[in-house]
Amino acid sequence: MDLDEQIRLREPADEYVLRLAREKAEAAVAQASIDLNETAVLAADTAVVLDGDILGKPADRFDALAMLARLSGRTHKVMTGVAVRGPAGAGDVISTTEVSFRTLVREECERYWLSGEPADKAGAYAIQGMGALFVTAIAGSYSGVVGLPLLETGQLLHQQGVSTVLDTGRDPDEIL
């Protein structure tokens, strides 16, 4: 799947991740010739957002170190758009989580880059890996920061009639 993931002029971060999630889901349906009467297709996209700027995957070492320097000692947002296409039509949602970083030292950022972990991660870090050592707090969905907010994803799949392990057959919003 080859999608243009460029940010459009003046495109807000929430619209950006939702657009990419939708386009990925639609491309998967078209590419695999999927019958949406029987199958649901799920796609997601995540962005790290600081001061309104979308920090995507770093282009190189210099870019990664610059991103980590910007995130150092600050709180940023991680936005994940999730889109589903299936028997019940189209659905999508955005999960937004605030992540706070401790102050980082350049030498540790250099060592982190050498680990290879930040090379293909939005914002140049992975909270599920060594990047967790930078995080002082999160407010929101941990799984959304990883890249797939499970609560929201489960709700979208439920709307499509897809059962999960915990599915009771009742609307998740009515439980409890």
Q: Is 45 a catalytic residue?
A: yes
- Residue-wise pLDDT for 45-95, tens only, equals 999 999 999 999 999 999 999 999 999 999 999 999 999 999 999 999 999
13-161: what CATH class? alpha beta
The Cα diameter of the chain in Å comes to: 53
Q: Catalytic one among 4, 35, 45, 167?
A: 45
Give the global pTM: 0.89
Residue among 5, 82, 2, 97 at smallest CA distance from 45: 82
C-alpha distances out from residue 14 to 60, 61, 151, Å: 25, 27, 18
- Residue-wise pLDDT for 98-152, tens only, equals 999 999 999 999 999 999 999 999 999 999 999 999 999 999 999 999 999 999 9
Classify 158 as helix, strand or coil.
Answer: helix
> Would you list the domain boundaries of the chain?
13-161
